[in-house]
A and B are shown apart, each in its own frame.
Chain A
Amino acid sequence: MESDNTHAIAMMSRDVSESASEDSSESEPDAFESLYERLQYSMSTSVFERTQGSRFLPRDAFEKVLSSTAAGPSDRRNFVLEVMGVELSRPSEDDRALADYILDSARKVFLVAVDIELEQLHAAMKLFKISQYKDEDLPVEEYSRTRLKVALRQNHHPFQRMETVQRKLRGQDEEKNRRRIWSLPTIARFQDSQWIFLAPTMSTLDLNSNFDHRCPIPFITKDSRQSSGSYGIVYKYTIHHAHFKNTFHQVIQIMAHAGLGFAG
């Protein structure tokens, strides 16, 4: 644990100087702009009756971006580092580990940060890595502005807390000239943007999904025809292909060998 903290302090300390240079830079790195543009271009729009007009990023979109720009694992790593503005000539071990962490466990967290054009992207992703904040931790709890103000004042928001811990570890002197990554506007933007990356997958294996009302349902076409039965109204939709896991035959096999569960 102690070594972890020491390691974390070292990483964050180095980031202070990097961050200063990142902040002073007038223009964003090309890779960032390229990724940002391609993400916007890849967005789909939900036509589901209750989330109509909500944008979502298909779950295969980032993979497509990676495949088209980076051939092997090291290229993928470099691409991610480049997006964060890291010099590729001599990436450190820590940066390589950070890129691997993003590619393995925090793709959505990373993309949300890109989507909201987070200024200190590199520093923010390091914070997430140190705190082991991963895709599976999304969505971050949504606070109203009023509640967020209070939470920030009391240092209760998880993003703010993870940043504060690191600032304390680094000491006050290093923090004097450093702007905070997480503030009311950046957290609010993260809260709003995260749903774009959380469109669920419809799976024949999961018969008990419960989706948040802010989750865009990945239906991309809707037929104007609808039929009404005794128990409901039937609509014709097309599910985005990347959001449909069709394992019907697998389901039959599994169910044939095990009891069916349905947690009401």
Chain B
Amino acid sequence: MLDLDLRADESQYEPEPYVVAVKAIRRGRGNVAVDVKREVNALAKINQLGEEHIVRFITYFRRGGQEYPDHYVLLEWADGGNLNDFWKQASKRERTASLVKWVVKQLHGIAKALSTVHCMPDGVSYSHGDLKPGNILWFPDSGGYGVFKIGDWGGVQSHNQETTLLEGHEDSTPPYSTMRYGPPEYALQLRLPKATRRVRSHLHDTWSMGCIILEFVIWLLYDYGELREFNASYQGYFGPSDQFYEISRERVVSIHRVVEHWMEHMSQDDLCRSGETALGDVLYVVRTGLLVVELPKDEGLKFQAAVRLYSSTHDAKQRTRFRAKELETELLRIAQGGVSENYWAQGQKSTLTPEELMGSSQSLGPTGRTAHLAGLPVPSDIIDYTHPSLDPEDWTFEPENDFATTLSPRLGSITGISPHQTPSSTRLCDRCRDFEKRLLDANFAIIYTTQTLRMNARAGTCDMCCMLWRSCFDIAIGWSKYQQIWDGRGGAWDKSVSFERAGSFLRMSDTKCPVLTILRSNGKSPL
């Protein structure tokens, strides 16, 4: 079964630790096996590119039952964490010319990697679909600042290039990508009826890059604190909005007024002037090529038709969003430009950050760029107001401590019994004592032989075994195959049963829904 050989060929194994990132794929969403297969296939293909700025995929394995196995993806471990961690840790570093050069080089490297992935040699290409600072991983090195790599390809989507250029590609990935860094067309599609064909093009990634690069410019120009301030300013022109764009009540899409306000303010800063400083040129690329609602005609027309969006009339000079290749070219131009040190070095303190936008003053609305960012009106008749279909298998279970805290005293006063009262004595077998000891571990898992559970429960020698055995029985009622656990008839299911912790719940082997809830008394340890 296993390809193992105890005859170790020492030359194959270097006696050094192999630190890896192990991604445990979430259960309880769609068809996990299909999603994982897509991700692993893409990761393996992307590995072939040998791109410096893409996290190296190591391997993948499944374990556990045939029906609901656990899936694990192994990747190289990023010692520095992600881009957010970098911004936080390097916040106080002097903004030297070498730092700015390095940042531009890294951004160019990432753009180049994206460009390559978007246009693979064999005709099949991929889009990431969930680029954000948390997915740009930081690999520090001893000699310099290190390397940034794109990680978490869980939302990867394969495209056939022949069709992608014209019409995007049907989005078969689950809608879990981060909304904040997603483009407006992504949000608009989510509003469409479920049956509507949804598409995702490579331009999704370049919008996200625009968001990330803008945040990087803010960090370089100001500081981590100011970047946090920017990220907290989500009071949009049309109401609260966490994205880099806004959609009006009339379904007009435009750049978020706070984003526009910051970009406009920064562009007036001497350290961020387009054509004079690297930062200024980078900001210009963001404003004119990345955070752009309008899509290129060849990609946009079919795409918009697919989602039945109506583009407003545009003048001939209207800009459209860059593809990754164009972004790569622009960043390379900046990286190679600026013979003068002044182009890179900041040398002086930047001016203050923009004043906070308050309320919804008309004067602070989107600037003159609105003309070429004029949104995409969405006919109201295609907005779906029906509830999405609810699949119990996809439900998530959240602890509701506030509710429990409120309800508990009321129950106590009605029944005279406190639900948090600890039993005066609890009989536990050795296995259950181990259970008790390790339960606080977030990854707690324990295996019982069903024979032990059954015997202890029937003999009443262990209260915990009684409860666990009762859980087996409850599951058996709802799931015929577990019936064998209960009645002890032969087959594989009469041997053992495992209980695994999933947040505040315990799941039984091969079940998705929790079988027990972990209750913690106020100020007391569980159990």
Contact = CB atoms under 8 A, between A and B. Distances in A.
Contact of B62 (A211, A226, A233): A211
A231 B176 contact: yes
B20 interface: yes
Contacts, number: 195
B2 A207 contact: no
Given A202-B20, A260-B45, 18 more contacts: A49-B445, A52-B443, A59-B8, A111-B6, A146-B488, A147-B490, A201-B3, A201-B4, A206-B59, A211-B62, A230-B152, A230-B177, A231-B152, A232-B26, A233-B23, A234-B23, A236-B22, A256-B48
Contacts of A146: 488, 490, 494
A235 B58 CA distance: 14
A108 B69 contact: no
Contact of B2 (A200, A235, A246, A255): A200
A245 interface: yes
B50 A49 contact: no
Contacts of B144: none
Contacts of B65: 213
A150 B491 CA distance: 12
Contacts of A197: 6
A153 to B, nearest CB: 14
B19 A144 contact: no
A229 interface: yes
B451 interface: yes
A158 B30 CA distance: 41
Interface of chain A: mostly helix, strand, loop or mixed? mixed
B433 to A, nearest CB: 14
B106 interface: no
A146 B61 CA distance: 32
A50 B6 contact: no
Interface stretch (A6-14, A15-23, A115-123, A135-143): A135-143
A56 B25 CA distance: 25
A198 B35 contact: no
Interface of A: 49-52, 59-63, 103, 107-108, 111, 135-136, 138-139, 142, 144-147, 150, 197-204, 206-213, 215, 217, 219, 221, 226-227, 229-239, 241-242, 244-246, 248, 251-252, 255-256, 260, 262, 264
A236 B18 CA distance: 10
Given A142-B495, A207-B59, A262-B44, A198 B2 contact: yes
B35 A231 contact: yes
Interface of B: 1-8, 10, 12-26, 33-35, 37, 39-41, 44-45, 47-48, 50, 56, 58-65, 69-70, 73-74, 77, 81-82, 130, 134-135, 152, 154-155, 176-178, 438, 441-443, 445, 451, 488, 490, 494-495, 498, 500, 509
Contact of B16 (A208, A229, A241): A241
A238 B25 CA distance: 19
B50 to A, nearest CB: 6
A61 B13 CA distance: 13
27 contacts: A49-B24, A49-B445, A50-B500, A52-B445, A60-B6, A60-B10, A62-B6, A135-B4, A142-B495, A146-B488, A150-B490, A200-B2, A204-B58, A207-B60, A210-B62, A210-B63, A213-B63, A226-B442, A227-B134, A230-B177, A231-B23, A231-B35, A234-B22, A235-B24, A248-B47, A251-B47, A255-B47
A50 B47 contact: no
A118 B148 CA distance: 55
Contacts of A264: 33-34, 37
